[in-house]
A and B are shown apart, each in its own frame.
Chain A
């Protein structure tokens, strides 16, 4: 009789937390929160070689030609750069500085009146045409792309300071969008068949 009165003992659930913690730590360790990072580009639409080509007329003056040879030597316009010129000393590399000056200097690339957020500003029409030999190492190619992007970022910063009085990084999304639209990353990756021509 006394036995029937005894309640069934409760299962101790204090270890439940430990089990859950173990699971949690397991998932924390095994899953990777890796974010994909990369450099965004937009390719030109495909043009059928048989179709008649009507090339976009770009003023030669506004084009800065960047050629990368298979050995990693870089020609910017008529000047020769070495791979050490890609390395940054301080904030900028020699290449990014050169491209930036090309964009800023009204003597080197035309400035066009562009409307940004209701105001008119002079924005460079400069375009960088990047050509690389087929045998060029991808590492070098991307480093060149990196420095070209950096030059355009610097220029965006410049325009942003003119328009909004602060750096591009500090702008809100709409303002940053306005600047991006007005100052697109004009880096053209040449057609492969163009590579034989110089």
Chain B
């Protein structure tokens, strides 16, 4: 009897929540490692065209080239600018940019994929000029950046 009475009185100890911060911190670190902060600020506005037949591009060895209207440009001004890293540059600078990138990445120009983030309002002529420079730089693997089409599917 005495034993029974004792048992009935005993309270269930509160669940220890001391490990909760650890778990949350682990989650936090996971997200910090898995996500990437945007490294470069855009200087040109690029509205990417829509496409259906697109694939995911491996972030590793991906080199971005932006082409679009400069941000804050006057309305009538529609000269396309090329952005490499965080500067607006000319088409002729692409070759130097590619060779500099291959040095920093430590790979050959054939191992990188150049992601062409071109505004949908750009003209093919401008794009061709960029592609010609890439051919000269021997960076032959390219990708036309596009976002998944929402309609039309």
Interchain CA distance A134-B37 in the complex, whole Å? 36
Over the window 131-147 of chain A, the binary record of Cβ atoms lying under 8 Å from chain B Cβ atoms (1 yes, 0 no) is 01111111101110110
Contacts of A150 in B (CB 8 A): 52-53
Complex Cα distance, B121 from A131, in Å, reads 18
* Residues in chain A near residue B147, CB distance under 8 A: 37
Quote the shortest CB–CB distance from A137 to chain B (angstroms): 7
Sampled A-B contacts (16; CB under 8 Å): A16-B21, A31-B35, A36-B59, A37-B148, A39-B51, A39-B55, A39-B144, A46-B136, A46-B138, A68-B124, A87-B152, A88-B152, A132-B124, A133-B125, A138-B123, A138-B124
B141/A40 in contact, CB under 8 A? yes
Complex interface: stretch among A17-25, A75-83, A99-107: A17-25
B2-10, B83-91, B100-108, B111-119 - the one binding chain A: B111-119
Known: A24-B31, A27-B28, A150-B53. A37 touches B146 (CB 8 A): yes
Interface size class of B (residues with CB under 8 A): 35 or more
Q: Once the chains bind, are B54 and A189 in contact (CB under 8 Å)?
A: no
B residues within 8 A CB of A19? 21
- A27–B115 touching, CB < 8 Å: no
Q: Is A44 an interface residue (CB 8 A)?
A: yes
B27 touching A24 by the CB < 8 A rule?
yes
Q: Is the CB of A136 within 8 A of B28?
A: no
Closest CB of chain A to B39's CB: distance in Å?
11
Interface SS of A by simple majority? mixed
Q: Which of A23, A30, A44, A68 contacts B135 (CB 8 A)?
A: A44
| Chain B residues, CB < 8 A from A13 | 18, 21
B40 within 8 A of A: no
Q: Which of chain A's residues 21-50 have a Cβ closer than 8 Å to chain B?
A: 21, 23-24, 27-28, 30-33, 35-46
